[in-house]
Amino acid sequence: MSEEVLKENKMGVMPMPKLMLSMGLPMIISMIVQAFYNIVDSYFVSRITDDTVEHMGEYAVNALTLAYPVQLLIIAVGVGTGVGINALLSRSLGEKNFERAGKIAGNAIFIGLCTYIVFMLFGFFGTDAFLKTQTHDSLALKLGGEYLGICCVLSFGAVGSMIFEKLLQATGKTIHSTIAQLVGAIANIVLDPVLIFGLGPFPELGVKGAAYATVIGQVLTM
């Protein structure tokens, strides 16, 4: 193989079946890992106990369930934006129009910032109104508000990681984004029991701990 071909991006020279496998498998793993966050949080918060509240774990899981549609919306907006950016960027790179590719990457980061600001404002002002459309239980509203508020106000990690993931995928480096996703997911799994139950020097935060573990994992991925 000539030196010129070796310098080419693999998306332009690699046989299609091998390219599909090398790029598609990491993307599939990445999407599975993204789904782990809420599952892991639900598992650990279901084991929260409170001497003053019977079945506290069930209330906590209910709170996460109420918050999940908004978390899914954050993922949907981030992934949807990222897919469009992915298509534009990969096309520009294929055309060797690197100046346009640079502008697309810059605009992608700006769009991600705007998206984060919208969800941050929702986290400050909209969570209570949203949750009240789902339930009137005061404890579920309190727990759901704590969890969803943290996840929205600090959602820059979630939005940023999805934008940067698609930028990496557009260059053909899907394995890098998968490694980043795994780092965040593992951090979330480790931090969940530590922050929820207050292991070691950390305070017991309950549902808030699950939210902070999720956010920290997303920031590490980003």
Q: Which residue has the higher pLDDT, 216 or 24?
A: 216
Whether 16 is covered by a domain: the verdict is no
Give the pTM.
0.84
Return the structure tokens found at 53: 């509240």
Q: Compute the distance between CA of residue 222 and CA of residue 202 in angstroms, rounded to an integer.
A: 24
Looking at the domain assignment, is residue 40 inside a domain?
no
Residue 162 maps to a domain: yes
Within a domain: 6 = no
Nearest to 80 by CA among 159, 11, 21: 159
pLDDT digits (tens, 9 = 90+) for 148-185: 999 999 999 999 998 998 888 778 777 888 888 889 98
CA 222 – CA 97 distance, rounded (Å): 26
**Domain residues for 123?**
54-221
Q: Is residue 44 part of a domain?
A: no
Does residue 103 fall inside a structural domain?
yes
**Domain assignment present for 160:** yes
Burial class (CB in 10 A: 0-12, 13-18, 19+), 116: buried
- Among the residue ranges 5-9, 46-50, 64-68, 94-98, the one predicted with the least confidence is 5-9
Domain assignment of residue 25, yes or no: no
Tokens for 26, please give them.
């990491």
The total domain count for the chain is 1
